[in-house]
Amino acid sequence: MQIDISVKNNVGFSNTAKLILKIIISLACLMYVYYKLSWETIVSVLYTTNWLWILAAIGIFIVSKILSAYRLHQFFSATGTKITHNNNIRLYWLGMFYNQFLPGSISGDAFKVAYLFKKKLGTVKWLTWSILLDRVSGVTALTFIASIIWLCLFRLNVISILVLTVALSIIGIYFLVLHFFMNSFRLIKFDSFYWSIAVQFLQMVCMFFILNALGSNNILQLLFIFSVASIVAVLPLSIGGIGAREIVFLWGAHWLDIDAAAAVTAGFLFYLVNLLAALPGCYFIFSDPFKTTHEAVDALV
């Protein structure tokens, strides 16, 4: 019993230490960004924002998340986890809410694994692999899209060929791993990638709408920065990618010699779109996501 308590205490301390480190990194990145850019500059950019474009961005982002939930459902189904599409979407949205609003206490991915395991719908091992490979497929597609934008920006040269080679190699490794080492996911390796391309393309459209809201003239450059920032935000270095995304926008803007204030503001607005799209997930904190609407109402009566 004492050993179990000790292990739990060590795990708890480790998680707390990781959370504190992520908070420090996020705050340090934000302080650096806002040291380089004045608040007044960013506020002035926000003041001229066309919020109708932001509403359109929220709409297209929600569609991208519905497709993303469908992709995750494919991974679950491949391991024998049988859940309906509607239940999966509700659980997915609850996970989004946890990721955006409670990233330190419980991640949305960890919650999905725990919830489905508790429902006896799969093992922790295969549920975790499903969610991990779902994330990897998204990053793989994002890397490919980033390489295409790079080619559009810098045309065909030695560095461009190297960038495209790296991107295609990552895609090849993804397919090979699923085909030879993950037999359960072998049949969905191509479908999952196609869905990931669709998801990431829609998120590019979302950012395109945000850039239109800001009246930006550097669309292609900022879309490239956004693709790189999205890859960095996936890494478990900060709280929900906060700070890491903004610093990539700042450095990318300086490197490409474009308006840094507009770039950082675009990153902030994309995060705001994430928050607003995730808000409906809070409903499922109080209502089991696997219950139908009628069942939820009956439970409250």
**What residue numbers bound the domain in which 69 lies?**
2-300
Query: What's the whole-model pTM score?
Result: 0.85
Q: What is the pLDDT of residue 297?
A: 36
DSSP symbol at 208: H
| Of the candidate ranges 8-12, 171-175, 178-182, 255-259, the one whose mean pLDDT is the lowest | 8-12
DSSP symbol at 82: -
Tens digits of per-residue pLDDT, 49-94? 899 999 999 999 999 999 999 999 999 999 988 899 999 999 999 9
pLDDT: which is higher, 240 or 252: 252
- For residue 270, what are the CA distances in angstroms to 19, 101, 211, 236? 23, 15, 10, 19
pLDDT band at 276; cut points 50, 70, 90 = very high
Residues 14-18 have a mean pLDDT of 65
Complete DSSP assignment for 228-267: HHHHHHHSTTSSTTTTHHHHHHHHHHHHHTS-HHHHHHHH
Q: Which of 97-106, 122-131, 193-202 holds the top average pLDDT?
A: 193-202
Residues 192-216 have a mean pLDDT of 95
- Can you read off the two tokens belonging to residue 38? 């004045």
- Rounded Cα–Cα distance for residues 218 and 226 (Å): 12
Q: What is the pLDDT of residue 42?
A: 74
Residues 246, 239 contacting (CB under 8 angstroms) = no
Work out how many domains the chain is built from and give that number: 1
- Rounded Cα–Cα distance for residues 175 and 182 (Å): 10
